[in-house]
Chains A and B, each alone.
Chain A
Amino acid sequence: MMLLPCPYCGPRDVTEFTYGGDDGTVRPGDPQAVSDARWVSYVYIRDNPRGPHDELWQHSAGCRRWIRVRRDTLTHQVLSSAPAAQPVQP
């Protein structure tokens, strides 16, 4: 079983977490002011690397906080984990 190191609780089984996806998708500020292309890219286009990936997880069966994990999508090795930088809007 994959273990994710929660920065608050320590290493826990992956089944305690809910996946939140790519952490690179920053919501553009004013929807009226951004171009269609920028908005479409925010909603539909994600980083999908074969290798290190920055992603969000919620420790939903634990402390319930959102965390930011850098994990290799090929080997599943966790490279780092930290509290999520900003409030998460899933």
Chain B
Amino acid sequence: MKYSIYSLVRNAFSYHENWPRAWRSPEPKSEYDVVIIGGGGHGLATAYYLAKNHGITNVAVLEKGYIGGGNTGRNTTIVRSNYYLDPNAHFYEHSLKLWEGLSADLNYNVMYSPRGVLNLAHSYADLDAYSRRGNAMRLNGIDAEFLTREEVARMVPLLDCSPHARYPIIGGLLQRRGGTARHDAVAWGYARGADARGVDIIQQCEVTGLRRNGNRIEGIDTTRGYVRAKKIGLAVSGHSGHVAGMAGVRLPIETHVLQALVSEPVKPILDTVVTSGAVHFYVSQSDKGELVLGGDLDMYNSYGQRSNLPPVEHAVQSLLALFPCFSRLRMLRTWGGVMDMSMDGSPIIGKTPLDNFYIDCGWCYGGFKATPASGWCFAHTIAHDQPHALNAAYTLDRYGLGRTIDERGGGPYPWVH
């Protein structure tokens, strides 16, 4: 059913009790052309574009819990394309363009809100780095604006822009087309679109083994039985190393926990996303009115999808240093998700040493904004057995070839990216 003002009115007459389910809940078949492991945004988008762009519809998405229950439903929903290096700039800009048309394409409101993403500059080194990045973005055709201290103060009056601030603000880099989107809606919209094209979305179905025969994976052991597949795509974010290990594939990935927290809801007060690289902190206000804040990783390997106090304290301290006016807000909820931190901070979308096994991982803490382009490129890679131009640089073998894509220049210490 197409969602529209007419279907809304029609369903109002039956007290909204007769809306059809947005996707089916089928039993797994014994064989598929393509099986995608992981029902987060990336896996679901991949299935959607496999069907929509490449006509491949004998596809299943296997999800161990419920769709969107991983990082897709745990992230702080910031969407942007403010990257310096060319491969990242082109890939994330394609993603942002897909975001701009996504609600219409999916016939599902993903609540993309281009409210701007502002990076605060606290030092002259920050100013240099931001003007360099801003100029690189503009050369790549991406919007970027440099703001003076006065312009920052006018745009976000709540910020402490005084010279005595704990972290003095001396300028900023703004991407107006950046912003936020509704995380759950992205998973649900892609799921509904994929299902309508024939994709089986199978929840409560954990992959427990990959049966390898020489250079191929023949089938997949799951908690809902054995499934054969001609091609297998892995999109399990923080569990990438764990699941790839079932096929004996070792990845340049470490798994780390990242947390976020929200305050009690208040009236609209902050209409943009504010980030500070120096302090390692960002904040925005959700449509429900909560302040959404996040910051550092816990900085040690973890698969524990839960929150710990030290990073919470860091985030709250940073919030109050930048926005002293929030000192009486109470915090409502904290949570954590496990991130696939790659060795250069950039993703991997491509082939593996095995013939019919493809991977999409290394999203670090920025994979939500990548969801549309990741699905787009991963579907292309699986369908054609070779990458799309936009993910040609994101190969698994780039580490050995000296072609790492290291935005930060941090080296192979995944927890610092």
Contact = CB atoms under 8 A, between A and B. Distances in A.
Given A1-B309, A43-B412, A76 B304 contact: yes
Interface string B251-269: 1111100000000000000
A29 to B, nearest CB: 20
B7 interface: no
A21 interface: yes
A45 B399 CA distance: 10
Contacts of B412: 43-44
Given A53-B301, A73-B303, A74-B304, A48 B343 contact: no
Interface residues of A, number: 24
Contact of B308 (A1, A44, A55): A1
B310 interface: yes
A48 B309 contact: no
B310 A75 contact: no
Interface of A is mostly: mixed
Given A45-B250, A73-B255, A36 B304 contact: no
Q: How large is the interface on B (under 10, 10 to 19, 20 to 34, 35 or more residues)?
A: 20 to 34
Contacts of A48: 241-242, 245, 251, 253-255, 301
A73 B253 CA distance: 14
B214 interface: no
A69 to B, nearest CB: 9
B343 A73 contact: no
A45 B245 CA distance: 12
Given A40-B399, A76-B302, A14 B251 contact: no
A2 interface: yes
B367 to A, nearest CB: 17
B303 to A, nearest CB: 5
Residue with the highest number of chain B CB atoms closer than 10 Å, among A14, A36, A41, A48? A48
Given A44-B252, A44-B412, A50 B310 contact: no
A19 interface: yes
A38 B67 CA distance: 39
A5 to B, nearest CB: 15
Interface string B274-301: 0000000000000000000000000111
Interface string B119-153: 00000000000000000000000000000000000
Nearest to B244: A48
Interface string A1-35: 11000000000001100010110000000000000
Contacts of A45: 250-252
B415 interface: yes
Contacts of A85: none
Contacts of A64: none
Given A19-B300, A44-B343, A53-B301, A14 B400 contact: no
A48 B241 CA distance: 6
Contact of B413 (A21, A40, A41, A53): A21
A15 to B, nearest CB: 5
Contacts of B254: 21-22, 46, 48
Contacts of A46: 252, 254
A19 B415 contact: yes
Interface of B: 239, 241-242, 245, 250-255, 299-304, 308-310, 343, 399-400, 412-413, 415
Interface of A: 1-2, 14-15, 19, 21-22, 36-37, 40-41, 43-46, 48-50, 53, 55, 73-76
Given A45-B251, A48-B253, A55-B301, 11 more contacts: A1-B309, A14-B300, A40-B399, A40-B400, A43-B412, A44-B412, A46-B254, A50-B242, A73-B303, A74-B302, A75-B304
19 contacts: A1-B310, A2-B308, A14-B310, A21-B413, A21-B415, A37-B400, A40-B399, A40-B400, A45-B250, A48-B241, A48-B242, A48-B255, A53-B301, A55-B300, A55-B301, A73-B301, A74-B302, A74-B304, A76-B302
